[in-house]
Structure 1
Amino acid sequence: MSKERGNAVSDEKDNPWGLRTDSSRTSNPGFSRETTATEVANSFSNVVQDKTVVVVGVSPQSLGESITMAFASQSPRLLVLASRTMSKIKAVATKVKEQHPNVELQLVEVDLSSFASIREAATQINGIVDKIDILVNNAGVVDTTPRTTKDGLELQFGTNHIGIFFLTNLLMPKILKAAQKSQSKGSTRVVNMTSAGHLISPIRFSDYNFKKRPEDIPEDERPPSRPGMSFDPPPGKTYVPFVAYGQSKTANILMALSISHKLASEGVRSIATHPGSIWTDMSRNLDEEHLEMIKKTGDFWKNLDQGGATSLVAALDPKLAEDKDIIYLADCQVSVPAPHAKDPNAAERLWQLSEEIVGQKFDLGHTSNL
């Protein structure tokens, strides 16, 4: 978003989704939609150095690549790159080594649509690192065809949230270890990539796999009504791709809310980030109809380096450690998500549902304030 330095709150007309940003709550009020991940990393160079960083979702020509390259430019202690396809991780690793030959890298395969793969990847990562200072959950899918994960979940919810939830909690002991060792409380970060698409849908607690018609689920689980827009499925159908995607992106924010509140006293902060309007390889599964819908959602299209910037702010800005209630950033500044994505009751309910789905309890202790 175009704005002058020091303008604390952006106008809603600057953003087609109606999101407002507040630049008074970050260290750099001049950062905006034009800012790049490279610029953010350079600004917080001293924060990156000696950090162990795990980036999930790394492939060529992706936000994961731009985020990785930005971290690599500032000499982290270790970069762990995790993604579904090893050949794609290696392509990014080769680019890192060409530009930053002294950066230590570790590569791990993980399929977030498979509990077995997540368990194996977590075991590998936990064996590689002694601590995790920054975890960036960038991986995700968007699809217009009804599909399920290997464990029978609707693909977008199962991958974008449940997979991320499971992996993060399996890595949590190493995240907590980093927080215990840190001299700066709140500098240990879990960053979840979300989207303004979260505005489309709350969590469908009674029907997260999309087996029911909208009229058969509680009203507060249905997409909010918008003038000229309908998210109802066609007659006889139950699946709406963008509602499924929106549900998963709401889940990313609610998960960040849960972690920040549960672990605030331990020095762990979690923030969800909206990267802005950007074309990435994620759009490969969209048909022409849905591609046209996406094209209408943005008035400013970012390049990959700009798209990674907000996640770098969430991972590195020391000022964000001061307030656990900051859970969502857009255009490199603090923003406010939809009401259904900042509801603490929904956050705790989703946490419990996610534990039930993966079949494992993650008791983060008595620190929960939810």
Structure 2
Amino acid sequence: MKISIERSALLKAMSRAQSVVERRNTIPILANVLIEAEGSAISFRATDLDIEIVDKSDAMVLQAGATTVGAHTLHDIVRKLPDGAMVELSDDGTSGRLEIRAGRSNFSLATLPKEDFPVMASSEYDCNFAIDATVLNRLFDKSKFAISTEETRYYLNGVYMHAADGADGPALRCVATDGHRLARIDAALPQGADNLPGVIVPRKTVLELGKLLADDTQIAVSVSETKIRFATPEVTLTSKVIDGSFPDYSRVIPQGNTKRLEVDAAEFAKAVDRVSTVSSERSRAVKLVLDEDRLVLSVNAPDSGAAEEELAVAYADEPLEIGFNAKYLQEIADQVDRENAVFLFNSAGDPTLMREGNDESAVYVVMPMRV
């Protein structure tokens, strides 16, 4: 194999590939990226056995072939090469080495046989549809903060994607919860997604996908009961889905909350951040005291001190005192794209609902805590 490729194209491909590869591997081949050159293109394939990413780039292929080499090492080398450099990769197939040349720099890396590289088995996909990257990015980006990190509840360690009945008709819905907060995000159901099986997309896949969705492009999504695939002309990301049943989230979304607070989302998030500076790290509790058009945020931590801040808000219901984990409040407020956030309360012991103005396509629930 012998190829010549522009440094920026190689860096882009290797950045995507190495992010899938775990830094600590008990199986040596999983630390490598499979490089395949044929025709006028080169592909980079990386996997951790649960996720596989294939990135295709244009290159000058002087001699077709394939090899595998350490993904993180190659990425670090390319990252440190000068901008605009042409990088030559060559492997004679017998030395067990990949030679890398760029300008006056020369590197020689150990390789492993391409035959040892595991390729994810192809799957028959039950559902295929196309969706704008910006729409898909919004669905995952606004819900991922609520993914649980508790390994024992593995079925909550991802985003539940399914077809549902939304406020404005059939919707593609993403839901995530960790038992303390919940995010439910809707988008118009794309053509062809009617028979979408409900799948739990793992956290790592959601995070990797976020790196691919920067461009305003169409994403081809294919879903089966065991796998999900996201593809653009350049990149294909295939992932296993979590084998488990997502709980009936609709039961925890309150329907009868009538006490309505409207507040500037950015100011609210900053105020929570300021007063929580003195809260104890363990609980990070902040108390909200609501009166007519007035909100007082306060923290009282006997070991470190106290803080209080008042905000002008729109609130016309009976007075209410309620406590929350400051981190949860901040993360939910940070999701708001519009100017105002609307909180709907019932009592100090019931879940609170939050949305962006009157938009019901993004709904958040947060459980209160005693303060």
TM-score, structure 1 as length reference: 0.24
By relative contact order (CA 8 Å, sep 6+), the higher-ranking structure is 1
TM-score, structure 2 as length reference: 0.24
Structure with the higher fraction of residues in strand conformation: 2
